[in-house]
Amino acid sequence: MERYVVEKRIGVGSYGSAYLVHFRKDRNVKCVLKKIRLDNVGPKERAAAHQEVKLLSQLSHPFVLGYIDSFQYKNFLCIVTEFCEAGDLYNKLKSCKTYLKEEQVVEWFVQLLSAIQYLHERKVLHRDLKTQNVFLTKEGNIKLGDFGIARVLNAPVEMAMTVIGTPYYMSPEIMESKPYDFKSDLWAFGCVLYELTSLKHAFDAQDMNGLVMKILRGKYGSPPAHFSPELRQVVSRLLSKEPEQRPSCEQLNELAWVKSIMQQFS
Ligand code: ADP
Ligand code: MG
């Protein structure tokens, strides 16, 4: 903790708080420090949390938020990551006055796809994919953050609405209390992609019951017509109610449309 100087608190959640900090030795290096409360956590979960952080520390990918450091401070598990000065996708989309261009959406789509594929190949599930956890660098590239730790410090679904916020990205199978699977990440990916096109949630409601109903019915408005049929079809396949019908990252990469975009960016 002595290595860092806190500049300000940037987030509060059920887990604890997030701070913008800089290195005491170099005030130009800004990072994000997350303090995760461990006092209500048993020894088993505590060990699992440390194990998970060790795993995260070994990941490295251009579109995955970089890990810097972790340590225990009092009753908190602290995780230090890169700071993305351009903020998150949630705020970016909120500030949009017109729809994004197809080219911008597909660029972020392939960056997210490659980040999620990287995690899934290593048997890491994100578990909390949402626009608030997708960060942007000043170059306009994506950095996917805030994953993994949810596996070991699982908050119950009932807490989700009050503490964490409305669970807009929760898949139909999770609503039915089935186990979280990599296909549940792909559902959330579909929700994020939907927002990139439509600038609103695929499923929205005033309360939890309304949201559950909408997600289980599986109906949502189609994305604006100026987006290509290929892009709109990927959205609809990712938002398939049946997990088996959602494409995996590998299958998405096999699509001729995705292959041609990848070539463009390589
Ligand atoms: P949540 O993900 O539930 O919104 P967090 O505590 O993870 O809450 O984040 C709080 C705020 O800090 C969010 O607005 C988020 O965009 C921002 N934030 C978190 N991590 C980073 C980061 N690495 N770079 C830039 N902003 C970040
Ligand atoms: Mg977050």
Residues 179-213: pLDDT tens digits?
888 999 999 999 999 999 999 999 999 988 999 99
CA–CA distance, 115 with 133 (Å, rounded to integer)? 13
Of 98, 105, 148, whose CA–CA distance to 126 is shortest? 148
The Cα angle at residue 59 between residues 68 and 244, in degrees rounded to 5? 135
Contact assessment for residue 183 and residue 120, using Cβ atoms and an 8 Å cutoff: no
Identify which ligand lies nearest to the alpha carbon of 10: 1
| Residues composing the chain | 266
Give me ligand 1 centre to Cα 137, in Å. 13
Question: Residue 8: nearest ligand to its CA?
Answer: 1
Average pLDDT, the chain: 90
Looking at the CA of residue 143, tell me the nearest atom of ligand 1.
23
pLDDT at position 67, please?
Answer: 94
- Say how many Å lie between the CA of residue 88 and the centre of ligand 2: 9
Binding residue positions for ATP: 34
Task: Categorize the per-residue pLDDT at 163 as very low, low, confident or very high, splitting at 50, 70 and 90.
Answer: very low
pLDDT tens column, 19-59: 999 999 999 999 999 998 888 788 888 888 888 888 889 99
Centre of ligand 1 from the C-alpha of residue 70, in Å? 17
Single pTM value for the model: 0.92
